[in-house]
Amino acid sequence: ATPVSIMVGTGKGATLGVLIKNAEALEIMEKVDTLVVDKTGTLTEGRPKLISVQTAPGFREGDVLRFAASLERASEHPLAEAIVRGAEEQGILLSSTDQFASITGKGVTGSIKGHKVALGNIKLFDELSIDPGNLPDMAEIGRGNGQTVMFVAIDDKAAGIIGVADPIKASTAQAIQDLHDEGVRVVMLTGDNRTTAMAVAGKLGIDQVEAEVLPDQKAEIVKKLQAEGHIVAMAGDGINDAPALAQSHVGIAMGTGTDVAMESAGITLVKGDLRGIVQARRLSRGTMRNIR
Ligand code: ADP
Ligand code: MG
């Protein structure tokens, strides 16, 4: 495309809240046939809310939430914020944490008032050799409703589960429908549990789901789709997503997400509205038409 048509395209994009960083991103958008999209913070608002706490026999709900929230005060994960906020809303007093550790894609651990506390998914329990007992069964109901359910262990014993719900953005359903109308396949990628992922994907008519993906596997999945001959756009918001954004033909970051994601992407959707992807494709077609 000519420099002038690129300028026109990026200028129109800017007025629509679609920031296009370079000519390459604008040129390739119309050729994209596969959109890989992160769940949390991209399809969803990324601001989960505490829904429920359930305990294993011998543990009290208030204790499980207090230990979990005390631990999460040291974490910056959106799930952590939901748990801390939920506990505070219930007037629970939090304690300080020693030996805090965060294990990417799995959860967090620490020591609170001399008790060992672990909070995260089944991979975390596996890594710490903690028997989850019937926590996975307890988790299924909330997950079937699209909740993210985390496991809590106190002194290496399965103590309870915490369910949070992250609302799907109001604009997401329309964006996916518009992409489908243009023949773009949508693949959802998430570190979250498979049942939760399938529930969210089902509501949106997502074509393919890759769940329980560790952060460093996200770029690999993009690479695999590219090797199959697809032109892949990747949309994400987190630090986790940066390598996959960089690997894809066009990276699309949420303006509501982390700076690292935006630095790794060719396009930023200022308000995180995924309908901007379809608008970017229209701008791309318009720009490329000018030069043919
Ligand atoms: P996503 O790819 O959906 O943004 P992440 O890779 O950040 O998700 O996290 C994947 C999973 O790891 C979460 O669904 C959760 O089970 C667990 N996890 C990660 N960080 C935390 C945390 N601070 N507290 C509890 N669980 C966590
Ligand atoms: Mg995310």
The CATH number assigned to the domain holding 278 equals: 3.40.50.1000
Q: Which two tokens stand for residue 48?
A: 């989960």
pLDDT at 12: 94
Kindly report which listed range (4-13, 144-153, 192-201) carries the lowest average pLDDT score. 4-13
65 and 40 assigned to the same domain: no
Active site residue 38: yes
Same domain flag for 126 and 189: no
ipTM of the assembly? 0.93
* Domain-ending residue, one of 141, 165, 189: 165
Q: Is 175 in the pocket of ligand 1 (CB under 6 A)?
A: no
C-alpha distances in Å from residue 132, one per residue of 108, 114, 142, 194: 16, 21, 17, 17
Give the closest residue (by CA) to ligand 1 atom 8.
191
Last residue of a domain, one of 133, 165, 197: 165
Residue 209 burial by Cβ neighbours in a 10 Å radius (0-12, 13-18, 19+): middle
Residue 107 Cβ inside 6 Å of ligand 1? The answer reads: yes
pLDDT tens-place string over residues 63-77: 999 999 999 999 988
Residues 58 and 155 in one domain: yes
What is the mean pLDDT of the segment spanning 10-19?
A: 95
Tell which one of 44, 77, 164, 258 to mutate to probe ligand 1, the residue whose CB is within 8 A of the most ligand atoms.
Answer: 77
Whether 191 is in the pocket of ligand 1, judged by its Cβ within 6 Å, is yes
Determine if ligand 1 sits within 6 Å of the CB of residue 153: no
Instruction: Give residue-wise pLDDT tens across range 24-59.
Output: 999 999 999 999 999 999 999 999 999 999 999 999
| Number of compact structural domains in the chain | 2
Beta-sheet strands, E only, within the chain = 18-20, 34-38, 49-55, 98-103, 107-112, 115-120, 148-154, 157-165, 185-189, 208-210, 232-236, 250-254, 267-269
| Residue 151 to residue 65: CA distance in whole angstroms | 11
- 174 and 38 in a common domain: yes
Residue 227 Cα to ligand 2 middle (Å): 24
Cβ of residue 264 lying under 6 Å from some atom of ligand 1 = no
Which residue's CA is the closest to the ligand 1 atom numbered 21?
A: 107
276: Cα separation from own chain's centroid: 18
Distance (Å, rounded) from C-alpha 132 to C-alpha 146? 21
Kindly identify the ligand whose nearest atom is closest to the C-alpha of 196.
1
pLDDT of residue 266: 97
Structural domain boundaries, residue 26: 3-45+168-289
Of 150, 165, 180, the residue that ends a domain is 165
Q: How far is the CA of 269 from the centre of ligand 1 (A)?
A: 23
Cα(9) to centroid of ligand 2, in Å? 28
Nearest to 210, CA basis, from 181, 237, 241, 231: 241
Nearest residue to 222 via CA among 32, 27, 24, 28: 32
